[in-house]
């Protein structure tokens, strides 16, 4: 019962005395229990805190709360991530957060030239196969613990229907990637004359082919 009251007080911001009155629980009994719990937590913190600090510095500030909690578990000491987070914060310890590598799917610094943006002053399309828009995105292969490899996906969307009309996936993002998507869309859709193929200014889309 005391644990439940404590959770209500912490999560709902109610006064402990009001919750005790509604549940007809002794206020003095609850406060005595909470005092005892806080004393036990402080005792545990005095034991776990030095280990948290040791693991933190041993791994040169690159272990956050989750990985430290795993390391403590391996040493036979159960300690939740929330508790490790609190211990790190109270000791002024903050792990280094390396920036995730994000490959560039658009390479605009090239000398291949650009076409004008024919959609800039054009009305919205009125039928399918009037405007196709293309783009490239990357897909991480495996988890963050892998070797940082990526696959690349080229997509073509019909601007009127908003449906993907074609796609191509490869392990590199050269012009072959976007040409494969375009050729598949032409083969499957058989568009008439006047179709606009609109993309960004990436080198893949500006190549001679």
Q: Give the contacts of 27 (CB within 8 A, at least 6 positions apart).
A: 16, 17, 20, 21
pLDDT value at position 189? 93
pLDDT value at position 63? 87
Q: How many CB atoms are closer than 10 A to CB 111?
A: 6
Binning pLDDT at 50, 70 and 90, where does residue 145 land? very low
**Are 152 and 172 within 8 A, CB to CB?**
yes
pLDDT averaged over every residue in the chain: 82
Q: Where are the alpha helices (DSSP H) in 59-145?
A: 65-74, 81-90
At the fourth CATH level, the homologous superfamily of domain 100-209 is: Ribonuclease H-like superfamily/Ribonuclease H (3.30.420.10)
pLDDT digits (tens, 9 = 90+) for 119-129: 888 899 999 99
pLDDT value at position 46? 77
**Are 164 and 156 within 8 A, CB to CB?**
yes
Radius of gyration of the chain (CA): 30
The residue ranking higher by pLDDT, 47 or 143, is 47
Binning pLDDT at 50, 70 and 90, where does residue 144 land? very low
Q: Which among 174, 184, 134 is positioned nearest to 154, based on CA atoms?
A: 134
- Please report, for the chain, the start and end positions of each structural domain, with discontinuous segments joined by +: 2-90, 100-209
The residue ranking higher by pLDDT, 177 or 2, is 177
| Residue given tokens 């996906």 in the structure block | 153
pLDDT value at position 38? 60
pLDDT value at position 163? 93
Residue 50 phi, psi (nearest 5): -60, -35
**Are 132 and 158 within 8 A, CB to CB?**
yes
What is the C-alpha end-to-end distance of the chain, expressed in Å? 73
Burial 31-40 (b: 16+ CB within 10 A, else e): eebeeeeeee
Is the pTM for the entire model greater than 0.85? no
| Residue given tokens 């600090």 in the structure block | 53
pLDDT value at position 107? 59
Task: Give the whole-number percent of the chain exceeding pLDDT 90.
Answer: 24
pLDDT digits (tens, 9 = 90+) for 66-117: 889 898 888 888 888 888 888 888 888 888 766 655 665 555 566 666 778 8
Residue 180 has pLDDT above 60, yes or no: yes
Binning pLDDT at 50, 70 and 90, where does residue 183 land? very high
pLDDT digits (tens, 9 = 90+) for 33-50: 677 666 666 667 777 888
pLDDT digits (tens, 9 = 90+) for 14-36: 788 888 888 888 888 877 767 76
């Amino acid at each position: 019962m005391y644990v439940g009251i404590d959770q209500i007080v912490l999560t709902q911001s109610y006064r402990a005395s009001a919750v005790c009155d509604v549940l007809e629980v002794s206020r003095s009994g609850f406060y005595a229990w909470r005092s005892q719990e806080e004393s036990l937590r402080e005792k545990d913190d005095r034991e776990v805190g030095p280990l948290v600090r040791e693991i933190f510095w041993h791994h040169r500030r690159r272990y956050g709360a989750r990985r430290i909690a795993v390391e403590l578990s391996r040493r036979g000491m159960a300690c939740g991530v929330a508790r490790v987070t609190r211990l790190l914060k109270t000791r002024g310890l903050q792990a280094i957060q390396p920036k995730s590598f994000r490959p560039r799917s658009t390479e605009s610094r090239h000398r291949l030239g650009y076409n004008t943006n024919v959609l800039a002053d054009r009305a919205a399309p009125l039928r399918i196969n009037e405007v196709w828009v293309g783009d490239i995105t990357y897909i991480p292969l495996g988890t963050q613990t892998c070797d940082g490899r990526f696959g690349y996906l080229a997509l073509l969307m019909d601007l009127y229907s908003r449906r993907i009309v074609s796609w191509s996936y490869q392990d590199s993002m050269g012009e072959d990637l976007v040409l494969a998507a375009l050729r598949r869309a032409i083969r499957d859709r058989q568009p008439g004359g006047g179709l606009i193929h609109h993309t960004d200014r990436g080198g893949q889309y500006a190549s001679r082919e």
